Structure 1
Amino acid sequence: MADKDSDLFFEEMGDVKPLKSKDKANLTVQQEITPGHIVRRASAVTEKVVDDNHLTSTDHIEMLSSNDVLEYKQAGIQHGVYKKLRMGRYPVEARLDLHRMTVEEARKEVFRFIRDCMKYDLRTVIILHGKGDRNPDKKALLKSHLAKWLPDMDDVMAFHSAQKHHGGTGAVYVLLRKSENDRQANRERHGLR
């Protein structure tokens, strides 16, 4: 059966001649440019992507050193809750590693990370920012920006530098606001309205 197929193939291809090196196929396709093409191209160049990230990266922040401790809590956070966070006694539900990122990359990642954590009802997370010991001036650039960014986020209730086994002053525990679903479940569990 295979011999019949090859015989048929050679019979069909018998008068085909290979292209000479000077013979080139013209593969360019002429596409008509419509006014719609022009508008779309212009808007792709001029329109900016809407950035809903309100965190700013600026040179005008207080620079922290590698051993400075990050700490913050909103009014109303119970002392016991904050102490438990500080001691690393809450399970870490998610982790973000900022090592080797630029400030701008970190700004975008922190915003996205916190937004995603809220979407999935996570309460306690850790962000690894590094100590800044490798920087020539020993200043902790990402840590300094985090100290400014985290309090600016409504969903961040508290944060504190991590325990040594989680990265010490090169990482920070973050306590996030309860989602509405979690708050409702808590009300029902405790018989509140």
Structure 2
Amino acid sequence: MNTDEDPNDVGHFLRAIGEVRRLEHDQADVRAPAPIARAQKRREDDVAVLRDLLSDPVNATDLQPGDELRFVRPGVSRRVFRNLKRGHYRVQEELDLHGLFSGEARRAVATFLTEARCEGHLCVRVVHGKGLRSRQQGPVLKGLLDHWLRQRDDVLAFCSARPADGGTGAVYVLLRRAAARS
């Protein structure tokens, strides 16, 4: 600023504020901002996908209480499966299905596996029970869990746990790594 200029000079003021444009009206725009775009049915779609992924088999009661569960997706090495079966991988999270009806158990398993994978867990345990109180039906949740786990692409392998971890009443589940986030 030039010290010779009068601060009350209009020319000084106009130079200080720079270029201006005339307003078309003197009313403020008070409309609410547009809402953030979101998929309206996303939650319902996610639930429907989980329900479809974990559909119940026609006959899931062919298993007996002492039968072992085992499944290995193609591409998983025998060494990895052997280590899983021996309990060499640290179980990072556990879900107990005791006392749940099949529909509740299906939702619990779907939610548990999705959250475990999102948290970066690779090995989890699901306790399904041995089905000793299921009378003639056999171990209902055990058969259903076997079916549900086979349907999920994020399950690489599963097998009955060691006796100290629940034996044929629980399974170790090996999960696929979650995709890296950018």
1:52 to 49, 52, 56: 49
Q: Distance in 1 between matches of 2:61 and 2:75?
A: 26
C-alpha root-mean-square deviation of aligned residues, in Å? 1.8
Over residues 125-160 of structure 1, what are the superposed CA-to-partner deviations in whole Å (9 max), with x where a residue is unaligned? 000000000112160000000111101000000000
Q: Distance in 1 between matches of 2:167 and 2:137?
A: 16
Amino acid at match of 1:52: V
Equivalence for 1:38:
none
Q: Distance in 2 between matches of 1:177 and 1:81?
A: 13
Q: Distance in 1 between matches of 2:179 and 2:98?
A: 33
Once the two structures are TM-superposed, the CA of residue 180 in structure 1 deviates from its matched residue by: 2.7
Identity of aligned residues (%): 36
Equivalence for 2:147:
148
Over residues 40-71 of structure 1, what are the superposed CA-to-partner deviations in whole Å (9 max), with x where a residue is unaligned? xxxxxxxxx44221211244335211001000
Equivalence for 2:6:
none
TM-score under structure 1 normalisation? 0.66
Moved more, 136-145 or 85-94: 136-145
Q: Is 1:107 aligned to residue 94 of structure 2?
A: no
Q: Distance in 2 between matches of 1:60 and 1:133?
A: 18
- SS of corresponding position for 1:174: strand
Equivalence for 2:131:
132
Equivalence for 1:180:
179
Alignment check: 8 A CA contact 1:66 1:138 kept: no
| Alignment: residue pair count | 135
Give 5+ residue unaligned stretches, structure 1. 1-48, 183-193
Equivalence for 1:123:
122
Once the two structures are TM-superposed, the CA of residue 181 in structure 1 deviates from its matched residue by: 3.1
- SS of corresponding position for 2:144: helix
Q: Is 1:68 aligned to residue 64 of structure 2?
A: no
Alignment check: 8 A CA contact 1:63 1:141 kept: no
Amino acid at match of 1:131: K
